[in-house]
């Protein structure tokens, strides 16, 4: 049996069976989703992380490229109770170490009690615990990945949707966008310009946008200074929307704060309460940071039922709407797909800067 070890922050080492060889390190996190492993593995929000699947069998319906959310696997390594050959062959082809035949309940418990933590993984015929511990020693904290946006963003502008001057024009800042977010906008008739994570105001205005959209992505929102500045400059000039990391960036731009969560929300069964309608919807989530204080220019519209963290924000003085969860729901429930209709509806009546009326 191929050897495999995962070393957790603090020195706890767990042995398993090696399925795809290699060494890696990253922040170890877990997802409670029991389907959608293809979408999870190709979600850019897992960049620089080691993904643990809490569901015991991963790969039972194969691997199909049409389900991918990006062009590659993003977690640095994968841990599961049982991985099928179809998944391990895929992981090995992309050079992503993987291990199984270990008690993932133990790892999930460690993360819930100690929080998301650094880890090192070593998989191979002759690896030892010391190899995993060496990887752990080299691991960098998530907040220290200052340029993580560059690892997942487009290098230059890309265009999607109709070439129609009458179509709503969306300037989407790619901080690690999932493909289904772009598809959700295009399916509703929008023309989408996907711009790099560090796009300037001039870059955005060149697209003549009806809407500025800040995407999901990995890492600490404090490290996305260009996107924060962009939102600050364009609030009130053009409607703004954001998903996941995008909500956090918008909050920071408008005077709010963000903070790291103990172990985050990752799965497809997170309950969210809409404070206006009092309706609870089930949502797909993948984030390790959250909005602390939204500030005076944003109001909390939705909260997580389990811990009261903000799940939706709206502007108090400009057209702004954000969601912490993933309304595109790939994978997951479709309860919140109308978010994209609400976002594009803002393009019909763009907000103007608030100016006192003349007497």
Active-site residue list: 244, 326, 328
Q: Within 10 A of 137 (CB to CB), how many other CB atoms are there?
A: 11
Helices (H), the chain: 37-41, 85-93, 104-114, 129-138, 148-152, 179-186, 201-205, 225-234, 245-253, 339-345
Question: CA 232, CA 225: separation in Å to the nearest integer?
Answer: 11
Q: Are 111 and 22 in contact (CB under 8 A)?
A: no
Flag whether 95 is marked binding: no
Question: CA 207, CA 192: separation in Å to the nearest integer?
Answer: 9
| Cis before 118 (ω within 30) | no
Question: CA 303, CA 311: separation in Å to the nearest integer?
Answer: 5
Backbone angles phi, psi at 226, to 5 degrees: -65, -40
Flag whether 245 is marked binding: yes
Flag whether 330 is marked binding: no
Flag whether 248 is marked binding: yes
Question: CA 170, CA 240: separation in Å to the nearest integer?
Answer: 10
Strand partners, 41: none
Question: Of 39, 93, 45, 27, which Cα lies nearest the Cα of 67?
Answer: 39
Flag whether 45 is marked binding: yes
Flag whether 217 is marked binding: yes
Question: CA 64, CA 66: separation in Å to the nearest integer?
Answer: 6
Flag whether 352 is marked binding: no
Q: How far is CA 341 from CA 4, 336, 344, in A?
A: 47, 10, 5
What DSSP state is assigned to residue 200?
Answer: -
Q: Binding site residues for L-glutamine, as ranges? A: 45, 217, 219, 245, 248, 286, 288-289
Annotated binding-site residue numbers: 45, 217, 219, 245, 248, 286, 288-289
């Amino acid at each position: 049996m191929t050897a495999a070890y995962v070393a957790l922050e603090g020195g706890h080492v767990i042995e398993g069976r090696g399925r795809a060889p290699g060494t890696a390190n990253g922040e170890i996190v877990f997802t409670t989703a029991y389907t959608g492993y293809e979408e999870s593995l190709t979600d850019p929000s897992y960049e620089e992380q080691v993904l643990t699947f809490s569901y015991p069998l991963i790969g039972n319906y194969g691997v199909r490229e049409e389900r991918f959310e990006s062009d590659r696997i993003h977690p640095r390594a994968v841990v599961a109770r049982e991985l099928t050959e179809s998944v391990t062959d895929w992981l090995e082809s992309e050079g992503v170490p993987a291990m199984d035949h270990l008690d993932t309940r133990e790892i999930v418990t460690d993360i819930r009690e100690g929080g998301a933590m650094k880890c090192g993984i070593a998989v191979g015929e002759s690896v030892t615990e010391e190899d995993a511990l060496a990887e752990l020693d080299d691991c960098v904290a998530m907040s220290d990945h200052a340029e993580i946006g560059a690892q997942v963003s487009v290098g230059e502008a890309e265009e999607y949707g109709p070439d129609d001057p009458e179509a709503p024009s969306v300037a989407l800042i790619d901080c690690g966008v999932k493909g289904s977010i772009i598809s959700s906008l295009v399916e509703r008739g929008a023309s989408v310009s996907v711009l790099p994570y560090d796009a300037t105001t001039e870059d955005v205005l060149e697209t003549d946008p009806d809407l500025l959209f800040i995407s999901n992505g990995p890492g600490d929102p404090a490290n996305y200074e260009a996107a924060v500045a962009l939102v600050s400059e364009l609030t009130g000039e053009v409607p703004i929307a954001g998903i996941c990391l995008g909500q956090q960036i918008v909050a920071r731009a408008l005077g709010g704060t963000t903070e790291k969560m103990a172990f985050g929300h990752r799965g497809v069964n997170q309950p969210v309460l809409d404070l206006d309608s009092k309706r609870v919807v089930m949502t797909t989530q993948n984030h390790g940071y959250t909005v602390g204080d939204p500030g005076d220019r944003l109001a909390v519209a939705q909260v997580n039922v389990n811990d009261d963290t903000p799940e939706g924000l709206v502007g108090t003085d400009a057209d702004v709407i954000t969601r912490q969860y993933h309304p595109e729901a790939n994978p997951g429930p479709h309860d919140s797909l109308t978010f994209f209709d609400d976002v594009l509806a803002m393009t019909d009546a763009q907000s103007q800067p608030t100016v006192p009326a003349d007497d």
